């Protein structure tokens, strides 16, 4: 089976600083992969290379066999890529539902002219997208907040809104950047349940950057560990947590020697 996401020798430099070096791995369709590593390992930079926000200095990034290096983020959405960010960018004066509906704009037929004219087929599509947005909010236990201004909700709920907005684009590949940051224990459990159900129902491939190892252990099928911009190891979360190289990267050599 062809990889949903394939990285080959991805390298990124800023001036003389090498942020990523020769990162290579594949993610098969339907897999939930965790991208982990200590602070400064290059995780978010790699996400930015995959999602078109950075152009790698070298290497290849392919989605379903299509090379995407140099492709604008807006065009990657049409190739099935959606992403959330560490800090959700919501329109705080708009309602929760209005924020989610924004995720479906690429699915509207025609272009700006037909949208502004409010043609019948555009209105039908808008109604369908609005209904799907409500359904996503219900599945994420956020239906009660649909008509509330987004600024009345907590940071944790903002992350849930952003996830629903990303899912409304009907992605085949979903990148989640620290989705558990700032969440309560109960909100993390809800997040894990939501992502599991989405993967099962929609057959979405997920790559998640996260420091919350409880979430990584509970959610992922495999993990890739980065350290100083290089791939340190690849395997299950349990294998990573017992690997002396990973322990040294997080805690130092003495801890790794004790674990060996």
The CA angle 10-12-16, to the nearest 5 degrees, is 145
Per-residue pLDDT tens listing for the chain (260 residues): 689 999 999 999 998 899 999 999 999 999 999 999 998 899 999 999 999 999 999 999 999 999 999 999 989 998 999 999 888 888 888 999 999 988 887 766 555 545 565 656 667 778 888 889 999 999 888 999 999 999 999 888 899 999 999 999 999 999 999 998 888 888 889 889 989 988 888 889 999 999 888 899 999 999 999 999 999 999 999 999 999 999 898 876 544 555 55
Query: Considering the entire predicted model, what is its pTM?
Result: 0.88
Just give the CATH number of 5-80+171-259. Answer: 3.40.50.300
The three-class DSSP label of residue 169 is coil
Query: What are the residues whose beta carbons fall under 8 Å from the beta carbon of 224, sequence distance 6 or more?
Result: 25, 33, 34, 35, 36, 231, 233, 234
CA distance 64 to 73: 16
CA neighbor of 24 nearest in space, from 39, 38, 11, 40: 11
Q: In this predicted structure, what is the pLDDT of residue 12?
A: 97
Paired sense of beta strands 58-63 and 32-36, if any = unpaired
Q: Would you kindly state where each structural domain of the chain is located, as residue ranges?
A: 5-80+171-259, 94-164
């Amino acid at each position: 089976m062809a990889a949903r996401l394939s990285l080959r020798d991805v390298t990124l430099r800023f001036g003389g600083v090498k942020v990523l070096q020769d990162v290579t791995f594949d993610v098969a369709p339907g897999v939930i992969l965790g991208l982990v590593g200590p602070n400064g390992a290059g995780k978010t930079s790699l996400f930015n290379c995959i999602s078109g926000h950075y152009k790698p200095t070298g290497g290849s990034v392919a989605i379903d066999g299509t090379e995407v290096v140099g492709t604008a983020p807006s065009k990657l959405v049409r190739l099935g890529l959606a992403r959330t960010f560490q800090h959700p960018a919501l329109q705080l004066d708009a309602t929760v539902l209005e924020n989610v509906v924004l995720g479906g704009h690429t699915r509207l037929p025609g272009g700006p002219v037909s949208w502004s004219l409010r043609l019948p087929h555009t209105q039908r599509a808008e109604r369908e997208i609005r209904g799907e947005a409500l359904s996503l909010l219900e599945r994420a236990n956020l239906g009660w907040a649909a008509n509330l201004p987004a600024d009345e909700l907590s940071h944790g709920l903002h992350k849930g809104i952003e996830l629903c907005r990303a899912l409304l684009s009907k992605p085949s590949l979903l990148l989640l950047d620290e989705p558990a940051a700032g969440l309560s224990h109960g909100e993390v459990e809800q997040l894990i349940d939501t992502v599991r159900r989405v993967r099962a129902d929609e057959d979405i491939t997920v790559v998640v950057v996260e420091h919350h190892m409880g979430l990584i252990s509970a959610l992922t099928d495999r993990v890739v560990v980065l350290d100083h911009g290089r791939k340190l190891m690849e395997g299950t979360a349990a294998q990573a947590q017992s690997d002396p190289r990973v322990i040294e990267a997080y805690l130092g050599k003495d801890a790794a020697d004790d674990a060996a």
